[in-house]
Amino acid sequence: MQSYAVLYERSGRFLIVDKYDKGYFFHEHGVGSVKPAGQVLNGAARKALPGGKVDPGETPLAAAQREFGEETGVAIAATLRADEHVFGAYAAGYFRLSPADFNTAALRVANVTLPAGRAARQEIIAGTINAYPQIHTRHPDAPLANELAYGYIWDVTDPVDWPQIVDLRNHRDTSWYREILLHLRDNVLPLP
């Protein structure tokens, strides 16, 4: 099962990202690795929600929380209002922040951690970084894994953003994101 994190605030704004076509550094089960030639990513070069595989013994909510931290470099506090929903082979964790905390987290992802990851990625491609520990020595704000390129704030209630969300269903690597975001709009946002 795969689980994805939806970081959102009550008005309907949420964080969505662009995936790279290839990743150059990864972190799994506490171990980091560098892939000098890059590794093709699932959902390459498409919009995505941070997420990935649910580990044995892990809940989908915990997996979404962990994957968000690994891929964005921003930890989701365990004390946040969180909801979980399973869609067959996919699941989502919905993490609600106050508008101010959402802005802080989303802007940190977009303007600090993902740019640090891009800089580390470029150094791996150039051959100046060839071991995982060098990444965070040279770029301490970089996320643990290099799958996400850019972060954006979209809104499930915005008539300009909604057609882009609906369009996610037109590709096999993004179709479940539309279902996850439809659930956010219709079932999670109305919750107190």
DSSP state of 142: S
Residue pointed to by tokens 């071991």: 131
Q: What are the CA-CA distances from residue 143 to residues 10, 27, 48, 53, 117 (Å)?
A: 26, 9, 16, 17, 6
Phi, psi of 173 (to 5 degrees): -85, -5
Amino acid identity, position 137: T
Each residue's pLDDT tens digit, 139-189: 999 999 999 999 999 999 999 999 999 999 998 889 999 999 999 999 999
Comparing CA positions, the residue from 189, 184, 15, 180 lying closest to residue 101 is 15
First to last CA, the chain: 29
Contact indicator for 174, 133 with CB cutoff of 8 Å: no
Q: State the average pLDDT for the chain.
A: 94
CATH topology of domain 2-188: Nucleoside Triphosphate Pyrophosphohydrolase (3.90.79)
Which band of pLDDT confidence, cut at 50, 70 and 90, is reported for residue 40?
Answer: very high
pLDDT beyond 80 at 79? no
pLDDT, position 60: 95
Q: What's 157's DSSP letter?
A: T
| Residue 126: Cβ-neighbour burial (10 angstroms; 0-12, 13-18, 19+) | exposed
Q: Comparing 72-86, 125-139, 161-175, which segment has the lowest mean pLDDT? A: 72-86
Name the band, by pLDDT with cuts 50, 70 and 90, for residue 80.
Answer: confident
3-state secondary structure 37-55: EEEECCCCCCEECCEEECC
Q: Which residues of 57-86 are buried (b: 16+ CB within 10 A; e: fewer)?
A: eeebbbbbbbbbbbbbbbebeeeeebbebe
- Other residues' Cβ atoms within 10 Å of the Cβ of residue 119: 15
Confidence bin at 44 (pLDDT 50/70/90):
confident
Reported as a single tens digit per residue, the pLDDT across 101-119 is 999 999 999 999 999 999 9
User: 52-56, 62-66, 170-174: lowest mean pLDDT where?
Assistant: 170-174
pTM above 0.85, yes or no: yes
CA dihedral (46, 47, 51, 53) positive or negative: negative
